[in-house]
Amino acid sequence: MYTDVPGQFEVLENGYVIAVDGVIKELCEELPKVYDESTVIDHTNKLIIPGFYDLHLHAGQYLQCGTGMNKQLLDWLKDYTYDLEKDFVDTDYADKVYGRFVDDLARYGTLGSCVFATSSTEGTERLYEAYKAKGIRAFVGKVNMVRNAPDFIIEEVQASLDGLKYLVEKYKDEPLVKPIVTPRFAPTSTEESMEALGKIAKEYDLPVQSHISENPAEVEWIKELYEWSTSYADVYDKFNLYGETPTIMAHAVYLTEEERKLSQNGKVYLAHCPDSNVNIVSGIAPVKQYMEMGIKVGLGSDIAGGHKIQMNEAVVRAIQLSKIKCFYEENNQPLSLSEAFYMGTACGGEFFGNVGKLKEGYELDALVIDDHELYKERYTLLDRLEKFLYVGDDRWIVERYVAGNKITV
């Protein structure tokens, strides 16, 4: 069961998913005789769905989940986050936290993630290694930040760039865990640093991730720091960091018309982070409108602005917030289950390549869901999927596959 396009489920009941060397060759109702001697893994009466893809979260904030939830963005960073992130220069500490973080991603069914580490090069290297050991997908970003934060967390521009280049050279050819250019957000960057990051992204053909228009105070701050800019997106675009290569911009709660048009170029993905936007009082992004404009919108847990790492809950929260938005804004429609599921699987997976769909030619990234016998007897397959998304947890996930390989949790 998967979504090929927003608003449409593809369902095969009592069928076979045939994969060779980790790639799906076909889906069929009966097993062709050519495969009579092949290994068959029997998941009768279970649900097989794509894995989840989290397009925005902060590994260095994992221990912070559920704290500081009464703060708005800029105070939240200052009072909680930066002090936590500084400790990741200690590689032993990084190993402990990142090991737990990656274990939990796999446990809850997130098979691919676009993740911010911290400004520590050594600490970020430990995050790469944690992902490699687990065997799940990731784009890992060393956070580049050179101003407007405490001295203990920022770097000199050249040191920040040197750390990034070291990690790029070391990991650029890895099959599952790859580098991504990561200016934290424009306020902690300078024109010099962003120009250099744009050149690195273009030289190595690397994707980019950052934040945009999360909070009204942040948007006003951008106007003060970059007086020449016409918008927040314009700042990134000026330095080839907004769709020159595939780009994830998290939040996008307050995009102007100009920014929406810039986001339609096909290489920009917006990461909607519903839990975080509520927790730190940012607002509700008009994601349904963005999708209707043809803008690509995935989902992010945004740990630790978001308090839960489970992506099935992010799917549900996206639907719930879209319903709330309908209460006080005219001409809005809520997200459907299939649209939100598409955001958390197919759209997010697209950023990683041919994953996120149980479809011929796609790599086999999948979750096997074993729900209760009473549900199986009474409900349709789609009802059972909805129930898993709303009330299921890691105990319902009995197997996880990445590129056809079974992941141990």
Measured CA angle at 81 (ends 75, 85), to 5 deg: 155
3-state secondary structure 280-311: CCCCCCCHHHHHHCCCEEEECCCECCECCCCH
Q: Which amino acid is at 181?
A: V
pLDDT tens by residue, 117-164 = 999 999 999 999 999 999 999 999 999 999 999 999 999 999 999 999
- 52-350 topology per CATH: TIM Barrel (3.20.20)
pLDDT tens by residue, 344-383 = 999 999 999 999 999 999 999 999 999 988 888 899 999 9
β partners of residue 248? 209, 269
Q: Rg of the chain's alpha carbons, rounded to an integer?
A: 21
Average pLDDT estimate for 227-237: 98
Residue 63 DSSP SS3: helix
pLDDT at residue 201, as a whole number: 98
Lowest mean pLDDT among 27-31, 51-55, 94-98, 326-330: 326-330
pLDDT at residue 72, as a whole number: 87
Look up residue 383 and give its DSSP letter.
H
- Output the CA torsion 100→104→107→112 (10° steps): -110
Phi, psi (deg, nearest 5) at residue 48: -115, 120
- Integer Cα distance of 7 and 25 in angstroms: 25
Q: Which amino acid is at 319?
A: I
With a pLDDT cut of 70, the percent of the chain lying above it is 100
Residue 134 DSSP SS3: helix
Of 138, 135, 130, residue with least CA distance to 113: 138
64 band by pLDDT with thresholds 50, 70 and 90: very high
Average pLDDT estimate for 13-24: 96
Residue 360 DSSP SS3: coil
Of 390, 389, 58, 52, residue with least CA distance to 214: 58
Structure tokens at 178: 């790859």
Average pLDDT estimate for 56-68: 94
pLDDT at residue 46, as a whole number: 96
Q: Which amino acid is at 120?
A: S
Lowest mean pLDDT among 33-47, 63-77, 126-140, 221-235: 63-77
Q: Which amino acid is at 185?
A: F
- The answer to whether 165 and 201 have CB atoms below 8 angstroms apart is no
pLDDT at residue 333, as a whole number: 87
309 band by pLDDT with thresholds 50, 70 and 90: very high
Q: Which CATH architecture has domain 2-49+358-406?
A: Roll (2.30)
Of 261, 282, 265, 307, residue with least CA distance to 213: 282
- Output the CA torsion 62→117→92→178 (10° steps): 120
Domain boundaries, the chain: 2-49+358-406, 52-350
pLDDT at residue 361, as a whole number: 97
Q: Which amino acid is at 77?
A: L
Reported pTM = 0.97
Average pLDDT estimate for 44-65: 96
* Mean pLDDT value across the chain: 96
What ranges in 121-273 are assigned the alpha helix state H?
Answer: 121-134, 157-171, 191-204, 216-225, 232-238, 257-262
pLDDT at 206 over 80: yes
pLDDT at residue 266, as a whole number: 94
pLDDT at 205 over 90: yes
Average pLDDT estimate for 249-261: 98
- Integer Cα distance of 251 and 236 in angstroms: 15
